Chain A
Amino acid sequence: GIQVEQSPPDLILQEGANSTLRCNFSDSVNNLQWFHQNPWGQLINLFYIPSGTKQNGRLSATTVATERYSLLYISSSQTTDSGVYFCAVGGGGSQGNLIFGKGTKLSVKP
């Protein structure tokens, strides 16, 4: 099956700093999503981005499907950005199953 690797596993930032999180995957995909899990355990979908670039406020994401990676950019980080960021990928055809990476744990300090 598809392997998903996220880096870095842990990241500590000072409020206001920018960061880039990376997701590498081992096979072609037709589905890639980024999620944020807040400290209370809620999982919120950030982006559905199997290819291309999208932006939503201070967050943006880019997926280069041919090179099998995706990047999540966080600019001007805030303490509320703390939590775990997961990348999830799905294969082609009717395969809707999404495989999650182990996540990047982000801590933003005031």
Chain B
Amino acid sequence: GAGVSQSPSNKVTEKGKDVELRCDPISGHTALYWYRQSLGQGLEFLIYFQGNSAPDKSGLPSDRFSAERTGGSVSTLTIQRTQQEDSAVYLCASSLFVGFGVQVSPLHFGNGTRLTVT
């Protein structure tokens, strides 16, 4: 597709269950970001992938959160043993970098996955 695709668009889960959220970035984009947005709040950085470099995991709030990016394309964000405070919209974005930290395209966001933990 032409844009960043996220699935599912909505997810309701019970407290304690694991969930997986998927992101398909724009084809050819080397950088992929995950953010979290709680109701009425700003965007909280979670994790960033750039090419083959080690991901920047500095924003992950606990060890229940993990993410991987396979083949430099699709990414999956996994939340284990979900808690009610995990309820939020999870946003994925992608961008194109060349060289050393040179961003040549702006960030493009998907429509997000709205996660509700009951």
Measuring CB to CB, which residues of chain A are less than 8 angstroms from any residue of chain B?
30-31, 33, 35, 41-45, 47-48, 86, 88, 90, 92-103
Q: How far is the CB of B40 from chain A (nearest CB, A)?
A: 9
Measured in the bound complex, the distance between the Cα atoms of B109 and A100 in whole Å is: 14
Contact between A103 and B112, CB atoms less than 8 A apart: no
B58 interface hit (Cβ, 8 Å): yes
Q: How far is the CB of A98 from chain B (nearest CB, A)?
A: 7
Q: How far is the CB of B114 from chain A (nearest CB, A)?
A: 9
Which residues in A have their C-beta under 8 angstroms from that of B56? 95-97
Contact between B107 and A93, CB atoms less than 8 A apart: no
In the complex where A41-B112, A45-B108 touch, is A93 in contact with B45 (Cβ < 8 A)? no
B89 interface hit (Cβ, 8 Å): yes
Contact between B43 and A45, CB atoms less than 8 A apart: no
Q: How far is the CB of A66 from chain B (nearest CB, A)?
A: 19
Measured in the bound complex, the distance between the Cα atoms of B97 and A101 in whole Å is: 22
Contact between A100 and B43, CB atoms less than 8 A apart: yes
Q: Which residue of A lies closest to B43 (CB)?
A: A100
Return the 5 tightest CB-CB contacts between A and B, nearest first: A45-B106, A43-B109, A100-B43, A48-B106, A102-B42
Residue in B43, B45, B89, B103 whose CB lies within 8 Å of A31: B103
Measured in the bound complex, the distance between the Cα atoms of B50 and A92 in whole Å is: 14
Residue in A33, A45, A93, A103 whose CB lies within 8 Å of B101: A93
Which residues in B have their C-beta under 8 angstroms from that of A31? 103
Residue in A45, A48, A88, A94 whose CB lies within 8 Å of B53: A94
Residue in B41, B45, B50, B91 whose CB lies within 8 Å of A43: B91
Contact between B111 and A42, CB atoms less than 8 A apart: yes
Q: Which residue of A lies closest to B97 (CB)?
A: A96
Contact between B45 and A99, CB atoms less than 8 A apart: yes
